Amino acid sequence: MIKYHKSFFVWPGIKFAEPITKPFIGWIIGNGKKIDFWIDTWATSILLREHIDLPNHLWKLYTAKVSDFINPDGWNFPTDISLALLAMGINIFSITCNPNSEDI
């Protein structure tokens, strides 16, 4: 049995680096099949879920993938979702997708 506490120094270093590295962490969107529309940072550095005030238990019903909004020619968003994204400051057509490749 271990009867002492040893400090863990890696986590403070990771937390320190977060503001520096966060802008460079995200997705290169291909067909969108690996990317959760609501909980992955694919459009901005903030989850889309953070923009919408819903109780946690309701989020289980929101299972869209980014691929649900991509067709062979590129983005295919219904007008209401495009407008909602614009209201969040996201111009979806400024984000590149390649329906013929995998997400990275």
More confident of the two residues 54 and 1: 54
pLDDT at 26: 76
**Pairing, β 70-71 against β 74-75:** antiparallel
Residue 9 confidence (pLDDT) above 70 = no
pLDDT band at 22; cut points 50, 70, 90: low
Residue 75 confidence (pLDDT) above 70 = yes
Residue 63 confidence (pLDDT) above 70 = yes
H or E segment and range at residue 84: helix 79-87
What mean pLDDT value characterizes the chain?
87
Residue 23 confidence (pLDDT) above 70 = no
Nearest to 65 by CA among 89, 37, 100, 104: 37
Residue with tokens 């400024």: 94
Instruction: Work out the percent of the chain whose per-residue pLDDT is above 70.
Output: 82
Compute the distance between CA of residue 4 and CA of residue 39 in angstroms, rounded to an integer. 38
H or E segment and range at residue 10: helix 10-21
Q: What is the mean pLDDT of residues 21-45?
A: 88
Amino acid (1-letter code) at residue 92: I
